[in-house]
Structure 1
Amino acid sequence: MPQEIEITDDQVKLAEKYLLPQGKSFDDERVAFMKDLSTHDLHAVPGSGKTTALLAKLIALEQHLPFADRSGVLVISHTNAAVDEIRRNIGHVCPRLFAYPNFIGTIQGFVDAFLAVPYYKSVYHRRPVRIDDEIYDENHFPDYKLSAYLNNRGDGKKLLYKYRLGKDGKLTLQLENKPFVFPETSGTYQKILSIKQELRESGFLCFDDAYILAQEYLEKFPGIINILRKRFSYVFVDEMQDMDRHQYDLLETLFGDAAEVAYQRIGDKNQAIFNAESEMLDIWKERNVKELNGSHRLHSATACIVESLALSPIAVVGNKTNTDGSAIDIRPVMLVYENDTVSEVISCFADEIKRLVDEGKINLASDNVHKAVAWTAAKPGDSANMIKLNHYHGSFSKDHAKLKINYPCLEAYLHYHQQDASKLASIRKSALNGILRILRLEEVVNPGTGRSFTKRSLVDWIKEQHSGFYRDFKLQLYQITALNIEQKKSEALKSLIKLATEVLSKLGKTIKKSKTFIDEKHVPVVTTSEEDPEQKSNCFVKNGIQIDVATVHAVKGQTHTSTLYMESFYQINVGGKGQYESSRVADQLQGTPLAAGAHEFIRQSLKMTYVGFSRATHLLGFAIHKSHFDALYNGKPNMDRWKVIIVPKPKKPALAAAK
């Protein structure tokens, strides 16, 4: 059993002081969770404030640190952003929690720090250079013959990049333990095996490698399990539903049956959209389940719709009210479009937002986050009849939606960055990433460590080794950022190339291997139409209302004032349930429970709509084609929950008056 600790009412009040607005307090549901330090699962509905409740529990635990048995607290989340949020919210009041022997980080960070890196060091007597998928892919250097062969195969990239060096020293497909498609004696197998072995030995690992090494470590040294159980007597895993099977299994191996550890898994099975299948519903074996049913994001008219979409049944109680405590009186809207009005859907939604603003039901001063989302975006080769996100918003680009470390050319680094208040810092980071990419292509490493530079280590190295250049380096970075903000991208690119050249010269190098990367021109996926000034990259603006456009995956975890969910084509028609979410979830929206053995596409559609529908505090919209509406919704049960709007045809421009 872990050290017995009692969370007191005073400690709950202390957490309220730091986490809640003045005069607010946690309800009984959340206080019960805060005080429960036993091993259990917490299933929480969207907007329940489960992470805030976890933070409150951590503030309370901080008051008991250090523990008498010298053990610590382990907090694992799924993303760096989530970990940063924890640090930002309670780091200043929980100094002991963020120090040894405690650990707060991502599942990948935990595996790297406690399993993969220690095992790698024991085998190769040095730390790995980098654990990152993009950097790992970048360091594959097949010879000319193998490269030509793979380029002529449709699965060439998969053969080269997706196979891993398994624990038995053989090639396996990622973490699926599927053998290579060719015999081990074949030349292709041997050459790719050699590349993987060289990558492993040189210290360039992908994320899968970390789990392969972790598994080897535990098999060879099973005592590590007991060491970690003694190190961490309280383990909290947030967003459990986003874990992949191998991550789930690893955590279960370490803590699942540990009587000496209080192991709490926190999440919402119904939001497991980052798994390829709905398998988390099957592999997450529940134990001592507790629930948070009250949502502070959803109001009652939206909550009942979201509840009907839950794959794993759970009551969803809408507790969201206006700031004065009055009920939010906004009915969700169903926007019915046809082929010739699909591009008007977002505009129609903007008109509905404007109407609610004019009626005083939405306050743009305080409630001003509006999103239009869809499950799938257009891909090359798609039929024009497959309605996807780009049909609704022609200039949508996934590259704008998701920032990456690597882009195919240097110029692209000046196009993709955040478009919010942190824009200046984001452009600076992107420019630095471009310089780092050049250094890697030129095979330049930090002279002091022998490893690839990071943004921080590059800046530190320049400051320490070339102090006279350091000030000019920072000034040039600022000038590149300013030019980019002013849309002077050609000048910004020239300045970035100049700066990269100077950095290389300080390292005794010149531009050679990176020349193609530098010279290649950036080609946007979709260009913005000059005829429609409101179509601005991934946002739509009308009457002063900005609606950001994104995929459902991109908005998971977010809270919006208004959310428009736009149906999109996904896979084939199975069981007569169609190829769009509106067809696949119609029965559930009308009150019919999901049939046992429902096809995976139906289950996935329920998860996507559950996540997408549960973002909005005020207005929820659902865009469906008229053919789907007429066949599946018009006159059917529960339609009184919706306000139906027929999307109007675009207005034709007025003819110029005759002279």
Structure 2
Amino acid sequence: MLDDLIREEDVAWAAELMGLGPDGFAPVEGDDSRFRAMLRLDTVDFEACPGSGKTTLLVAKLAVLAIRWAYRQQGICVLSHTNAARNEIGSKLSNTAAGIALMRYPHFVGTIHSFVNEYLALPWLRSKGVEVRCVDTQIALAKRWALLPRNTRWALQQANLTESCLIYTQPDYGGGATGRFGAQTQTYQAIVTARRTSSEQGYFCFDEMFIWARELLDSCPEATRTLRRRYPLVFIDEAQDNSEAQSALLHRIFCEGDAPSRRQRFGDSNQAIYASSSQSGATTDLFPSGDVHPMPRSYRFGQDLADKVQGLGVTPQPLIGAGPPDNIGTDPKERAIFLFDDGSVQEVLPRYGQHLLDTFTAEVLERGVFTAIAGVHEPGGDDNIPRAMGHYVPTYDPSCVRKEASPSSFVQYLARARFESAAVGNTDKLVNATASALLAASELAGGTHGRMSRKSPHRRVVEILSEGGARASYRALQEIVLTHAGEISPEVWAAQARALVEDIVRQLSGTAELDGTVVAFLTAPQAPIAAEGEAAILTRTDNLFTYPADAPRVRVRLGSIHSVKGETHTATLVLDSFFHKHHLSELKPWLLGSKSGGSTTTPRGKKVLEGIRMLGRLKLHYVAMTRPTHLLCLAMRKDAFGDGELNTLADRGWRIIDCCAPA
């Protein structure tokens, strides 16, 4: 049924459609991995290196399949790890009429969470009489915290437990991280009661939906057979990021037992990094496993950079540098390491900005994407400088880039959208962020409309608001947001925006009075204030560092390594940060070339894996150092290097820039 849906003559057409020219997927220098990947429709895992164009390949396959798909009640299921990945796939598919068809019945293109919600968790909860109002961890936890007795909240705070202790892991609302409060304690029982009450009211945390999905499959095994008949072909993007809960559930739905669906997974095991230390990868259904199809050719960077970063890969794999692309009209540049000490740590960003000005033409500076990223970006202590991004840029706001959690205020929604817009350069993120913030505020106010639709937040708000005043307020608010590019000053907020926001939230929620929780969510934006001596590295509220300060010629987007995963930059500065030890200092043997990969060979020839923490450092910084097309820079403490080591780095092609010395 499926084997002949993609033919050799289709490959050139698909490459042309993707803007690669007719030979875009053709064999290159004996490497036919992309050509063979296009033709395969069996169950397989694609191990794709950074910059290999796996999403482009996936969309090209889907475009061909869309033309040949003749089944009216069976579809293709495309699952992504994040909304950003889903939107990228959807945007590229929308370039053709056939591709648009894949976004509708009988097909599914969406995140793993949205698939689990739509086909398993939500139907099961509704069958139990629960009206699901909202699946949002922040909002659900706020509801539960408010339900707790005051003395219980005090006890949890005294035990250093946050609202996250209100997340449950069992269908009886038990489990979770409750610290020293065992099932026999009154505090634990109060926690369970708050969890149950808010869930019965229709408020759930994201990962709790997997609990109800599993309960459905336990109670109705025929659901698996139904889903396999509906989706005989399944694609999973960024499979290395799937958690154990996600992987185990998807394996159970599509692969376990008789008559499995055909499943193709795309990912890179060397880029498996997670948003928090509490998360871990799959153990039930490892990626890659079974039939593995390597894709070793990167179209992002050249062989010189490939040779330098390859050794950071935990699992040794070929890495062929076939880039960089010539879309900005310049050649790859010499790699650089910025050295600093306690007194010069805040000189790193200005020196990086000047280095960009000295390295690239005005045209490249205008068209390129320039970033500075750190492994740790949440604020910490003032010891072990640099502990986090805040030591380089004290005005840095980590909430802008925190993808794993919802923003905690209206202005944070806008700040995150500005941060993301800097990478793609369009306004739809601001429009939808404004709508999402309004929906979140209305849900905090008790709104019952829910956010389960596949429609965009903007479309949902427009449909919910009645004709007349509230819809006019919404149009006026969006005009203010776009006029100010999402950066609303405290003055504009007080004089123009806040009244509109409150009017819209009242209409969305059906609530006449907004309580303290909603008022706190709608707190006015505050302009960043630099302490004495910090003016040179003051960032805007969207974490954009501009240089020079008085007449900016380059914009550098600041963020965590996690926040830029999957992105491509013109130049990337990887900043050292601290978790038990300084990351880049610990990776010095790999930078010097004395170590490679995630294992060490003993004098007796036995391979010994690096420790868990070091493996995490390697994966994190492999992701970081494979972002740039033209220029990779590092920032490290000067005292991390011993005699002769800087000379070794220079011999290996690194330019040394000393921020401790006057510019």
Cα 1:244–1:497 change in 2 (3 A) is same
Q: Does residue 190 of the first structure (1) align with residue 193 of the second (2)?
A: no
Instruction: Give yes or no for contact 1:172–1:180 (8 Å, CA) kept in 2.
Output: no
Deviation at 1:236, TM superposition (A): 0.8
Question: What SS is found at the alignment partner of 1:312?
Answer: coil
Partner SS, residue 3 of structure 2 = coil
Tell me the CA shift for residue 640 of structure 1.
1.9
- Residue 496 of structure 1 corresponds to which residue in structure 2? 497
Structure 1 counterpart of 2:71:
67
Verify the 8 A CA contact 1:399 1:416 in the aligned structure 2.
Answer: yes
Matching residue's letter, 1:66: A
Equivalence map 1:55-204=2 (5 Å):
55-67=59-71, 70-93=73-96, 94-124=99-129, 127-140=131-144, 141-155=147-161, 157-159=163-165, 161-162=166-167, 164=168, 166-167=170-171, 169-173=172-176, 181-204=180-203
| Distance change in 2, residues 1:607/1:104 (3 Å) | same
Q: Which runs of 5+ in 1 are unaligned?
A: 573-578, 652-659
Contact 2:273–2:562 (Cα < 8 Å) also in 1 = yes
2:473–2:504 contact (8 Å) kept in structure 1: no
**For the structure 1 residues 476 and 643, does the alpha-carbon distance in structure 2 shift closer, same or farther, using more than 3 Å as the test?**
closer
Q: Please name the residue that 1:264 is paired with.
A: 264
Deviation at 1:425, TM superposition (A): 5.5
What residue number does 2:640 align with? 628
**Distance (whole Å) between structure 2 residues aligned to residue 52 and residue 200 of structure 1:** 40
Q: Which amino acid aligns with 2:17?
A: Y
Q: Say whether 1:333 aligns with 2:336.
A: yes
Is contact 2:625-2:632 (8 Å) kept? yes
Question: Which one-letter code corresponds to 1:243 in the other structure?
Answer: N
Larger CA deviation: 286-295 vs 425-434: 425-434
Moved more, 610-619 or 189-198: 189-198
Distance 2:410 2:100 in 1: 41
Does residue 610 of the first structure (1) align with residue 619 of the second (2)?
Answer: no
> For residues 186-219 of structure 1, what are the alpha-carbon distances to aligned partners after superposition, in whole Å with 9 as ceiling and x for unaligned?
2212221111111222211111211001111111
| Aligned position for 1:212 | 211
8 Å CA contact 1:409–1:521 kept in 2: the answer is no
CA shift in 2, pair 1:222/1:563, >3 Å:
same
Greater Cα offset, 486-495 or 88-97: 486-495
SS at match of 2:578: coil
How many angstroms apart in 2 are the aligned matches of 1:31 and 1:437?
A: 45
- State the distance in 1 between where 2:484 and 2:626 align: 39
Which residue identity lines up with residue 559 of structure 2 in the other structure?
A
Given that residues 299 and 319 in structure 1 are in contact (C-alpha distance below 8 angstroms), is that contact kept between their aligned partners in structure 2? Answer: yes
**SS where residue 535 of structure 2 aligns?**
coil
**Which SS does the other structure have where 2:559 is aligned?**
strand
Alpha-carbon distance in structure 2 between the residues aligned to 1:347 and 1:502: 43
Partner of 1:657: none
Distance 1:24 1:5, change over 3 A: closer
Partner of 1:575: none
Helix, strand or coil for the counterpart of 1:376? coil
Alignment CA distance shift 1:391-1:639 (3 Å) = farther
Two-structure CA RMSD over aligned residues (Å): 3.5
Give the direction of change, closer, same or farther, for the CA distance of 1:535–1:524 in structure 2 (3 Å limit): closer
The structure with more radius of gyration: 1
SS at structure 2 position matched to 1:210: helix
Higher mean alpha-carbon deviation, 594-603 vs 278-287, is at 278-287
Which moved further from structure 2: 99-108 or 411-420?
411-420
Distance in 2 between residues matched to 1:542 and 1:637, nearest whole Å: 28
Q: 2:246: which partner in 1?
A: 247
State the one-letter code of the partner of 2:580: Q
Give the direction of change, closer, same or farther, for the CA distance of 1:183–1:223 in structure 2 (3 Å limit). Answer: same
Paired positions, count:
626
- How far off its partner does 1:166 sit? 0.8
Aligned: 1:641 with 2:653: yes
Shifted more, 503-512 versus 148-157: the winner is 503-512
Offset at residue 150 of structure 1 (A): 2.6
- TM-score normalised per structure 2: 0.85
Pick from 309, 319, 323: which aligns with 1:320? 323
CA–CA separation in structure 2 for the residues paired with 1:414 and 1:292: 38
Q: Secondary structure at the match of 1:264?
A: strand
- Partner residue, 1:395: 395
Per the TM alignment, residue 339 of structure 1 is displaced from its structure 2 partner at its CA by 2.5
> 2 CA distance for matches of 1:192 and 1:21?
55
Q: Per-residue CA shift, 1:255-293, capped at 9, x if unaligned?
A: 234654221111001111126569548643511111111
State the Cα distance separating 1:368 from its structure 2 match.
1.4
SS in 2 for 1:390: helix
The within-5 A match list for 1:461-480 is: 461-464=464-467, 467=468, 470-479=471-480
Alpha-carbon distance between aligned partners in 1 of 2:170 and 2:404, rounded to the nearest angstrom: 27
Query: Hey, what's the Cα distance between the residues in 2 that align with 1:180 and 1:325?
Result: 53
SS in structure 2 at match of 1:592: coil
- Give distance in 1, aligned partners of 2:332 and 2:295: 24
Q: Aligned partners of 1:377 and 1:254: how far apart in 2? A: 37
SS at match of 1:536: coil
TM-superposed CA distance for 1:12, in Å, is: 1.4
Letter in structure 1 aligned against 2:584: E
Determine if the alignment matches structure 1 residue 301 to structure 2 residue 307.
Answer: no
Q: State the one-letter code of the partner of 1:614.
A: T
Give structure 2 stretches of 5+ with no counterpart. 28-32, 601-607
- The correspondence of residues 338-357 of structure 1 with structure 2, limited to 5 A, is 338-357=341-360
Matched, 1:539 2:540: no
Paired amino acid for 1:330: K
Distance between the aligned counterparts of 1:304 and 1:121, measured in 2? 54
- The 2-side partners of 1:505 and 1:567 are apart by 46
Q: Which residue of 1 aligns with 2:3?
A: 4
Distance 1:623 1:588 in 2: 13
CA shift digits 1:72-104 (9 cap, x unpaired): 211111111111111111124223322222111
The yes-or-no answer on 1:33 pairing with 2:37 is: yes
Q: Does 1:619 align with 2:634?
A: no
Matched, 1:50 2:50: no
Q: Give the residue type in structure 2 aligned to 1:72.
A: G
> Partner residue of 1:569?
578
Tell me which moved more, 518-527 or 639-648: 518-527
CA contact (8 A) 1:301 1:330 kept: no
Given that 2:389 and 2:396 are in contact with CA atoms closer than 8 Å, whether structure 1 keeps it comes out as yes
| Cα 1:253–1:218 shift into 2, 3 Å | same
- Preserved CA contact (<8 Å) 2:324 2:630: no
Cα displacement string for residues 371-391 of structure 1 (whole angstroms, at most 9, x for unaligned residues): 111111252444263443222
| Range with greater deviation from structure 2 (556-565 or 317-326) | 317-326
Distance 1:170 1:329 in 2: 55
Aligned residue runs from structure 1 range 421-500, under 5 A: 429-445=432-448, 456-464=459-467, 467=468, 470-479=471-480, 482=483, 488-500=489-501
What does residue range 499-510 of structure 1 map to in structure 2 within 5 Å? 499-503=500-504, 507=510, 509-510=512-513
What is the CA deviation profile of residues 39-72 of structure 1, one whole-angstrom value per residue up to 9, with x for unaligned ones? Answer: 111101100101101111111111221238x432
- Name the amino acid aligned to 2:105: Y
Q: CA deviation at 1:411?
A: 6.3
> Which moves more between the two structures, 228-237 or 377-386?
377-386
CA distance in 2, matches of 1:480, 1:42: 42
Q: Which amino acid is the alignment partner of residue 563 of structure 2?
A: A
Q: Distance in 2 between matches of 1:47 and 1:416?
A: 25
- For 1:242, give the aligned amino acid: D
Q: CA deviation at 1:483?
A: 6.4
Distance (whole Å) between structure 1 residues aligned to residue 239 and residue 406 of structure 2: 29
The one-letter amino acid of 1:443's match is G
Match of 1:656?
none
Kept in 2: contact 1:344–1:650 (CA 8 A): no
SS of corresponding position for 1:13? helix
What CA distance in whole angstroms lies between the structure 2 residues aligned with 1:454 and 1:368?
30
Q: For 1:154 and 1:130, locate their aligned partners in 2 and report how far apart those are by CA, in whole Å.
A: 27
Assess if the C-alpha contact under 8 Å between 1:45 and 1:316 holds in 2: yes
